[in-house]
Chain A
Amino acid sequence: YQRRVRVGMERYVEEFERKKNNNKDTPIAILAIQVLNDFVSKSDVGTLQQLLEQLKELSTQLKATAGTSNTSVVSGCDLFVRFITLSRGQNDPSSEDILECKGFDRVRKFLMDRGDTFLERLRKSRQKIAQLAYPFITDGVTVLTVNVSRVVLQLLVKAHQKSKKFKVLVTQSEEGPLMVKELNAQGIQATQILDASIGYVMERVSFVLVGAVGVVENGGLINKIGTYPVAVMARSLNKPFYVAVESFKFYRNYPLSQLDLPNDARYEDPEEKNHPEVDFTPPKYINKLFTDLGVLTPSAVSDELMKLYI
């Protein structure tokens, strides 16, 4: 029986790999949650406990294939499991209570409905962020961003569609040219700069706007390596530093230093430990976070996480 379950899981891991290759634009965490949702509908267990255990096992396996974005996979899967097992819809007191379901098939249907609701909310999260945050981009601003981030891209495109005139500077980092290309294709004036020149340009920048790989419990940011120096530079010249991030990236970890991040979050290959892919920006350098839960300060992140977990 154990082996049958494991073989079942390999199929889902393969499915996840396939989705990753076909959907470069969708956040990896959403793909993982889609796989989990699929698993809930097709799983053949008889009790909720068993199902939760299997979901946990599957999340761990998906995380292992996710590279350095695994923090968002971990946080996304964790939130998915918590959301679907919440006994009653938070804003809908008339919705069915999981405790009143008779028979596991009813429970399974309940979980699937909740899972679909969750996915629907997540899919809309980037739109919500763009809607909330585009007023921060006013005419004549120069925005500095680090590497490529689809959330930031969607935000800037929205602002452009609302006829705001602004310029964007993108640091080269690893995939900066891709970001420049996408922005230019949308008609936004974007220039690529060397990472070494952030000191040189910072006086002309209005604010810094970055995406995130994950947001930690104290409101700190995990993002592509090179973000921390930009944050320190921005603070030094009193330029606001904004982060655009979906709420499923809120990660339950509380690092006090760069080395406190787990190895598999930092390195592409934890065995070889080449060069870290991400760095940690402490919350004191961050002014605001644009999330689908609203515009938050770093200290509010802990509040939101407590609402979800405690």
Chain B
Amino acid sequence: MIGPSHLHNHSEAVVSTQSTGNFIKHTKVQVAKISPDLTESVAKEELQQSCDNFFRENIYLAGKSITEKAVERVVDGDTILIYKKSQLILHILLEAKARNKNFRVMVVDSRPDLSGVQSCERLTAAGIPCSYVYINSCTYVMKKVTKVMLAADALLANGYVLGPVGTALIGLISSTYNKPVIVCCETYKFSERVQTDSILYNELADPDSMLKTLNEEDTPVSNWRDCPNTRLVNLVYDTTPPALVSIVITEIAELPCTSAPVVLRRGAVKM
């Protein structure tokens, strides 16, 4: 018989990022709500149904709503900078292209996963002119950029944006060059946590993926496990302060970053 504790064990095993955290909370509530009179198969079906609803409302429809709002921000002649690969941002750009807007995209990528390559592939397939740089050359290209669109993994209660590592760097450089930074984030990603730096809470990905070079050669640190003083740290997230973000586009409203806690307080996030 499935119970909340059973679910708890399994959810611990799942890589629990902040955005899935809210979904897990939602599912636990649903499990607790299920009437004990129902048979197991009916209960499972109900649970599946509520998960599907969560997905539909908070992810699929929210994404469409955000796309509607964000597409308005893309104007002819824009050069939009994006970082790595985000389904939501790609959706927005493809939609803008479908509405015959004339713009270019600058894809900034970083190791070790280099997911920006896939972004580039999808955008060029749609006929959007793209440029591709590593994050090291971000300052070099920033002059030509007109706006920056970033996706978030979570929005914390003090307005800080949790994103893939490197987002804070992009935010800082964009701010310095006075380019608007647009963060697109569904409300299910809003978190009650407060964090002011990237070290307090973070995740580590596979350190060996940092060893990959373009030529598949051995690097000097290949045998890092044998060296007691050497560790490879592959951080997954970093935090961007709200002062560096111009606007956060959610499915309910377009907000300044500091208003994230207001959304939480007003109970606008459907759990």
B partners with A = yes
Give chain A's interface residues, CB within 8 Å of chain B: 217-219, 254, 256-257, 283-284, 298-299, 302-303, 306, 310
Please measure, in the bound complex, the distance between the C-alpha atom of A299 and the C-alpha atom of B261, giving whole angstroms: 11
A254 adjacent to B254 (CB under 8 Å): yes
Q: Is B10 an interface residue (CB 8 A)?
A: no
* Residues A302 and B247 in contact in the complex (CB < 8 Å), given A219-B256, A256-B180, A310-B252: no
In the complex the two chains form, what is the Cα distance from A219 to B255 in whole Å? Answer: 10
How near does chain A come to B264, taking the closest CB pair, in angstroms?
12
Contact yes or no, B180 A218, CB < 8 A: no
Instruction: Tell me which of A257, A283, A284 has the highest count of chain B C-beta atoms within 10 A of its own C-beta.
Output: A257
- Show 23 residue pairs from A and B whose CB-CB distance is below 8 angstroms, ordered by the A residue: A217-B254, A217-B255, A218-B246, A218-B247, A256-B73, A256-B182, A256-B247, A257-B180, A283-B256, A284-B243, A298-B256, A299-B258, A299-B259, A302-B256, A302-B262, A303-B259, A306-B253, A306-B262, A306-B266, A310-B252, A310-B253, A310-B266, A310-B268
With A218-B256, A299-B258 given, name 4 new contacts (CB 8 A): A256-B247, A299-B256, A299-B259, A306-B263
Which residues from B are CB-within-8-Å of A256?
A: 73, 147, 180, 182, 246-247
Contact with A along B9-21 (1 / 0, CB 8 A): 0000000000000
Asked if B259 and A306 make an inter-chain contact with CB atoms under 8 angstroms apart, the answer reads yes
- Neighbouring B residues of A283 by C-beta, 8 Å: 256
Chain A residues near B147 (CB-CB < 8 A)? 256
- When distances are taken between beta carbons in the complex, the residues of chain B under 8 Å from A217 are 254-256
Q: Cα distance A184–B180 when bound, in Å?
A: 43
Chain A residue numbers with a CB within 8 Å of B268 are 310
User: What A residues does B243 contact at CB under 8 A?
Assistant: 284
Within 8 A of A (CB), among B231-271: 243, 246-247, 252-256, 258-259, 262-263, 266, 268
Please measure, in the bound complex, the distance between the C-alpha atom of A284 and the C-alpha atom of B257, giving whole angstroms: 13
Complex CA–CA separation, A121 to B266 (angstroms) = 26
Q: Which residue of B has the minimal Cβ distance to A253?
A: B254
The B interface, classified by DSSP as helix, strand, loop or mixed, is: mixed
Q: Could you tell me the distance in whole angstroms from the C-beta of A119 to the nearest C-beta in chain B?
A: 28
Q: Tell me the smallest distance from the CB of A51 to a CB of chain B, in Å.
A: 27
> Contacts of A219 on B, CB cut-off 8 Å?
256
Q: How far apart are the CA atoms of A299 and B158 in the complex, in Å? A: 12
> Which of B256, B263, B266 gathers the greatest number of chain A CB atoms within 10 Å?
B256
Alpha-carbon gap, A306 to B250, bound state (A): 13
Within 8 Å by CB of A303, from B73, B252, B262, lies B262
Of chain A, the residue at the smallest CB distance from B265 is A303
State the Cβ distance, B105 to closest chain A Cβ, in Å.
Answer: 18
Tell me the complex Cα distance, A284–B147, Å: 19
Distance of A306 from chain B, by nearest CB (Å): 6
Q: Are A302 and B180 in contact (CB under 8 A)?
A: no
> What distance in Å separates the Cβ of B14 from its nearest Cβ neighbour in chain A?
33
Q: Is the CB–CB distance between B255 and A302 below 8 Å?
A: yes
Report yes or no: A302 in contact with B73, Cβ–Cβ below 8 A: no
B47 to chain A, nearest CB (A): 30
Residues of B close to A306: CB separation below 8 A: 253, 259, 262-263, 266
| Complex alpha-carbon distance, A284 and B254, angstroms | 18
Alpha-carbon gap, A284 to B255, bound state (A): 15
Query: Which 9 A-B residue pairs are closest in the complex by CB-CB distance?
Result: A256-B180, A299-B258, A218-B256, A302-B259, A254-B254, A303-B262, A256-B246, A302-B256, A302-B255
Query: How many Å lie between the Cα of A284 and that of B182 in the bound state?
Result: 16
- CB-CB under 8 A from A299, the residues of chain B are 256, 258-259
Q: How far does the alpha carbon of A217 sit from the alpha carbon of B258 in the complex, in Å?
A: 12
